[in-house]
Structure 1
Amino acid sequence: MFRKHRKAFSYLQHLLVWQACYEQQLGVAKIVHDASQLPHSKYGYLPIQITPEAVDHSRRERWKQVVTQFGIKGARKNGFEGLYIWLYRHDNFWLMQFNQKSAQPNIPKADRVDWVKRDKKYVKRLLALIDKVETQFESGRYTETWLFNHASIPLSQIKHLEKLPLCKLFFNKYCETIEEYQCRRIAVACIRCIAKHQILRTWRIERMAGLNEKRTRPLVSQLLGFAVKYEPSR
């Protein structure tokens, strides 16, 4: 428990340690009180002082070579973790100083994506898709996800819409709200009823549209009322 300081332990394990440290009867209140009386001073880092005779120059030179070749993290992953551990335990002060000087700055990668070109390519696909489906009234709701999927555009691009202004304008124009989608479903249901020479009834239209009075938005209910009063010419 004391070595794995970054791991969480249950309260039962803590109680077990308390019981081992206190020979008398365990009193949680007393332990908390004693802990609260401890000083709040912080212990600074004390570098390990070693004598010149204890310095292993061959290990230092070896570590310099592998860091130059692989980097600090790469050296530990390429079979030199044992060397790192030895230096950490026996030559810690030199190791920390050398690693700090050898650390490579984190330089962000240049933006290699031509977003203007990508934006034009994607919006062409979207326009071709909307030309194809705008007369297919029974298709799904036109959301960003639906349009991306059917235009064969990776969904990961949704989070980059700020870099795709043309696509963003397209979505602002063609994406459907829930009310717009429900109105389209009502219209499709009415067309089906008329084609089958059925009387337009509220319950029939809602059932064919997959809606009910609890899910239907106010504007859609108003449209449904107009549809029921409509009498197609014979």
Structure 2
Amino acid sequence: MLLTYRNQLLKGMQQYPSYSRTQIRKCFPKEYTYLYSHDKVWLFEKLPIIQEKKNNKAIVDWASRDREYCSKVEKLYKELIELDKPVRITISNIGKRLEILSNLEKHLDKLPQTKKLLFETTESTQQFQIRRCCKIIDRILQRQEPVVLWKVQRIGAVKSHHFHEIEPYLEKYLRTKQE
């Protein structure tokens, strides 16, 4: 049995000379296990030399990536602000659209300029509600219709208790637009 397994393993290693130890073990599990248990010295003499593990971790230039992300975020921010149907500007939304969400979540501390820009450009729910309602007011004024705040609230889909919080901002915005 010992000689049979030795011969089978040697034939396999001749048949696949480029295979590593792991690949040989996967191709000949029965023979490898038996020889490992009963003739380990012979097995390790005949197996190929242990290959050094390759370090696949590429060194990242975070400074250049930071500059790249900054320009992409600025460009996307301008596009999002100009959309007809407003979208809330969040780190998650920006990250998903630029396909960099993982880096923003895990490595934002390595991207100081991007981090600063994100905190300047992202908006809270209340800020988004105000921006959305201001766009609605602009559309109503463009059509030269009278602006009634309850209609703005309904079109903007803002709940009453939230609308009472943003109403002073909207009134101020409306006064500046009508002047």
- TM-score, normalising length: structure 1: 0.54
Q: Residue type of the partner of 1:207?
A: R
Relative to structure 1, the CA distance from residue 213 to residue 54 in structure 2 (aligned partners, 3 Å threshold; closer, same or farther) is: same
- Write the deviation string for residues 11-34 of structure 1: whole angstroms up to 9, x where unpaired: xxxxxxxxxxxxxxxxxxxxxxxx
Distance of 2:85 and 2:131 partners within structure 1: 8
Aligned mates of 1:157, 1:138 — CA distance in 2:
28
**Corresponding residue for residue 35 of structure 2:** 91
Q: Which runs of 5+ in 1 are unaligned?
A: 1-52
Please state if 1:128 is matched with 2:75: yes
Report the Cα offset of residue 226 of structure 1. Answer: 5.9
The aligned residue for residue 59 of structure 1 is 8
Structure of greater relative contact order (alpha carbons < 8 Å, 6+ residues apart): 2
Q: What one-letter code is carried by the residue in structure 1 that aligns with 2:122?
A: C
> Is 2:173 the partner of 1:224?
no
Letter in structure 2 aligned against 1:147: I
Kindly report which structure 2 residues correspond to 1:92-171, keeping only aligned pairs within 5 A, or say none: 92-93=36-37, 94=39, 98=44, 104=51, 106=53, 108-131=55-78, 134=81, 138-148=85-95, 152-159=98-105, 160-171=107-118
**2:148 is matched with which residue?**
200
Q: Is the 8 A contact 2:66 2:112 kept in 1?
A: yes
TM-score normalised by length of structure 2 = 0.67
What residue identity is the alignment partner of 2:104? Answer: I
Spell out, residue by residue over 1:34-77, the C-alpha distance to the aligned partner (whole angstroms, 9 max, x if none): xxxxxxxxxxxxxxxxxxx8344433544666787221333356
Residue 73 of structure 1, aligned match among 1, 22, 25: 22
Q: Rg bigger for which structure?
A: 1
2 CA distance for matches of 1:95 and 1:177?
A: 65
CA distance in 2, matches of 1:171, 1:221: 28
Work out the CA distance in 2 between the residues paired with 1:208 and 1:115. 44
Identity %: 17
Report the CA distance shift for 1:201/1:175 in structure 2 as closer, same or farther (over 3 A): closer
Which deviates the most, 117-126 or 193-202? 193-202
CA RMSD of aligned residues (A): 3.9
The alignment covers a number of residue pairs equal to: 171
Q: Which has the higher helix share?
A: 2
Shift of 1:185: 1.4
Give 1:142 shift. Answer: 1.0
Question: Out of 124, 137, 142, which is 1:177 matched to?
Answer: 124
**Residues 98, 162 of structure 1: CA spacing in aligned structure 2 closer, same or farther, 3 A cutoff?**
farther
| SS across alignment from 2:31 | helix
